[in-house]
């Protein structure tokens, strides 16, 4: 009787084992290269992007304000009856970082001059608002129940104020 040696049905030759090892090593090397590239990109310094101007942050830094809730709260009243002037002052003061909490008509439309009223007891805030608007008409009428620092009553001189410049509203 003659006996022949044949390889088992599931066995492989030595050449196919080494090609599998090389294939697995190639895959591992490729994964390592990708991981290193991703980590390098994440750690690379990116050029500084120009951030948009944040008027609130600038005002907070200039005045030493700790939180957005402590921005000066202002109300703007139309005291001359010209349509749209209170809205324009509202936009202007908001761009400067003030928290404009109320915009409406004053009880009367007979104000000749714009008036800035200290309501919270810190006349410095009222004077800053007046300076930003371009007026020096500041008075003190502290009313803590109003829950704001400044009332602005726009008078018939509104065209001379900074928010309006030479352009009519």
Averaged pLDDT for residues 146-158: 95
Question: Residues 77, 106: contact at Cβ < 8 Å?
Answer: yes
Residue 62 lies in a domain: yes
Mean pLDDT of the chain: 81
Residue numbers of the domain that contains 111: 55-160
User: d(Cα 161, Cα 132) in Å, to the nearest integer?
Assistant: 9
Per-residue model confidence (pLDDT) at position 46: 59
Reply yes or no on whether the pLDDT at 72 is more than 80.
Answer: yes
Provide the 3-class DSSP secondary structure of residue 135: coil
CATH number at residue 85: 3.30.70.2390
Residue 141 lies in a domain: yes
Tell me the backbone φ, ψ of residue 56, rounded to 5 degrees: -65, -45
Residue 8 lies in a domain: no
Does an H or E element contain 51, and which? none
Reply yes or no on whether the pLDDT at 31 is more than 60.
Answer: yes
Residue 90 lies in a domain: yes
pLDDT tens, residue by residue, 75-111: 999 999 999 999 999 999 999 989 999 999 999 999 9
User: d(Cα 74, Cα 152) in Å, to the nearest integer?
Assistant: 7
Averaged pLDDT for residues 155-168: 82
Residue 137 lies in a domain: yes
pTM over 0.75: no
Residue 59 lies in a domain: yes
Which comes out higher in pLDDT, residue 166 or 86?
86
Of the candidates 168, 161, 158, 160, the one whose C-alpha atom is nearest the C-alpha of residue 79 is 158
Q: Are strands 115-118 and 150-154 parallel, antiparallel or unpaired?
A: antiparallel
Question: Residues 71, 62: contact at Cβ < 8 Å?
Answer: no
Which comes out higher in pLDDT, residue 117 or 1?
117
pLDDT band, residue 133 (cuts 50/70/90): very high
Residue 9 lies in a domain: no
Of the candidates 122, 72, 114, 112, the one whose C-alpha atom is nearest the C-alpha of residue 89 is 114
Reply yes or no on whether the pLDDT at 45 is more than 70.
Answer: no
User: d(Cα 58, Cα 62) in Å, to the nearest integer?
Assistant: 6
User: d(Cα 165, Cα 168) in Å, to the nearest integer?
Assistant: 8
Per the structure, the count of domains in the chain is 1
Of the candidates 9, 168, 150, the one whose C-alpha atom is nearest the C-alpha of residue 77 is 150
């Amino acid at each position: 009787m003659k006996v022949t040696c044949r390889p088992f049905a599931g066995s492989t030759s030595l050449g196919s084992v080494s090609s599998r090892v090389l294939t697995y090593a190639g895959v591992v090397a490729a994964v390592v290269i990708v991981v290193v590239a991703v980590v390098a990109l994440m750690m690379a310094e990116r050029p500084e992007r120009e951030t948009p101007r944040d008027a609130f942050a600038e005002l907070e830094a200039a005045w030493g304000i700790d939180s957005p809730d402590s921005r000066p709260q202002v109300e703007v009243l139309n005291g001359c009856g010209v349509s749209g002037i209170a809205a324009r002052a509202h936009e202007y003061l908001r761009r400067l970082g003030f928290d404009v909490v109320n915009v409406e008509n004053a009880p009367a439309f007979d104000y000749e001059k714009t008036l800035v009223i200290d309501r919270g007891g810190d006349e410095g805030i009222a004077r800053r608002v007046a300076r930003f608007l371009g007026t020096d008409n500041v008075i003190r009428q502290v009313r803590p129940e109003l829950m704001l620092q400044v009332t602005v009553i726009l008078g018939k001189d509104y065209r001379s104020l900074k928010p309006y410049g030479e352009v009519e509203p």
